[in-house]
Structure 1
């Protein structure tokens, strides 16, 4: 199982000679609130409070362990190729997966890149941008102007990103899409597994059709020894 988090030249931590390298990133804490944040496992707080310099990144590698799709979920995923293919396109299991978070200095948010190997052909690469803006304080931009307003929730073992509504941004114009147009409720869970591991679970549930897509990947933090060598 490829469970090694990769950090090198693009490491998300500040250089050792920077006096502010130990200052935490407080944006996710502000969205959750101090009480909910303090109840999270220490490892989760560490992952979501790494201070990144603009253009620097941190990556986690692992593999896809579960991927189920309703037939209409598969059709939806293919249709979403038009806006950058933000949903998994296939059901391959045991394939390598990498999630990279890069600080976006221009917007003050983060760019998330997910790479999923496939049994045949090139890997699927998904790009999205998380911005600390909008009515919920957090939005994810997918492509072609489409985005999701997200709410952040804390659980006993991690953090959940939950869709509040979908929208279309056309220049400065922002159109909130009616619920009946959207594909359903989206949730993404980051759940700590102990010993430096965590599960990353994406679920899309339609109010009438039930669960359309469920994908689970298992990842691991970078070992301290490698971190010292690459920082």
Structure 2
């Protein structure tokens, strides 16, 4: 476990806003021009918008697949103690799903809220904050001082977010968690389908137990 002193992240000056959104070059900068240009135009468009403060983009869809192994089931339900960051109910299949993205002006990041319907129950809500900082340039926080550093990759059809490491941030200190305390390798994909539609995929895999959780959902572009 590695302990480091946290420094207050530097934030960029706000972009001049005109209308509801402006060009956002943060994901392009992380990928590099060559990898960015590899992506489908629709994905580049979705990840190039910075919304005006107080506005959000909402994507509506449906969960099309959800699988959990026994260890994955235990992990997902244990994680409910820290805000339920992992999907935990296979009853969400064929149920409505909603993703809402809001600019986090205070940290120069984004708030992400994902809601998955559950047959006969209240929906599950997952909230996190993406921040453009840390050793990889991008981190995701779920609350309770827990977060993960992310690497992003581009393919001709998808933008992939891959966990680099997990960390705990408390009392101004940051502790990088060793591999044996990590839940596994997480890969989140944004796959272009065409016709204003895309697939969201989530895969959590453990070296010891194999694939723990796998989820897919199909969404439509937000209405302008």
Question: When the two structures are superposed, what TM-score results if normalisation uses the length of structure 2?
Answer: 0.89
Q: Compared with structure 1, are the counterparts of its residues 100 and 19 closer, same or farther at alpha carbon in structure 2 (3 Å cutoff)?
A: closer
- Asked whether 1:138 is paired with 2:138, we answer yes
Offset from partner CA, 1:140-175 (integer Å, 9 cap, x none): 001211101000100110200000000000031000
CA distance in 2, matches of 1:80, 1:165: 17
Residues 55 and 104, structure 1, Cα contact 8 Å, conserved in 2? no
State the partner residue of 1:15: none
User: Does 2:115 align with 1:106?
Assistant: no
Q: Which residue of 1 aligns with 2:164?
A: 164
Report the Cα distance in structure 2 between the residues aligned to 1:115 and 1:23, rounded to whole angstroms: 26
Q: Deviations over 1:116-150 (max 9, x none)?
A: 11002211111100000100000000121110100
Does the 8 Å CA contact 1:98/1:114 hold for their aligned counterparts?
Answer: yes
Q: Gaps (5+ residues) in structure 1? A: 1-17
C-alpha contact (below 8 Å) 1:188/1:203 kept by paired residues = yes
- Say whether 1:87 aligns with 2:89: no
Question: What are the within-5 Å matches in structure 2 for residues 5-44 of structure 1?
Answer: 19=18, 23-44=22-43
Alignment of 1:59-208 (within 5 A): 59-92=58-91, 93-208=93-208
Shift of the alpha carbon at 1:39?
A: 1.1
- Would you say how many aligned residue pairs link Structure 1 and Structure 2? 207
Deviates more, 1:53-62 or 1:177-186: 53-62
Q: 8 Å contact 1:84–1:142 — kept in the other structure?
A: yes
After the TM superposition, list the runs of 4 or more consecutive aligned residues in structure 1 that deviate by more than 3 angstroms.
Answer: 18-23
Asked if the contact 2:21/2:52 (under 8 Å) is kept, the reply is no
SS at match of 2:51: coil
Contact 2:21-2:51 at 8 Å conserved across structures: no
5+ residue gaps in structure 2?
1-16
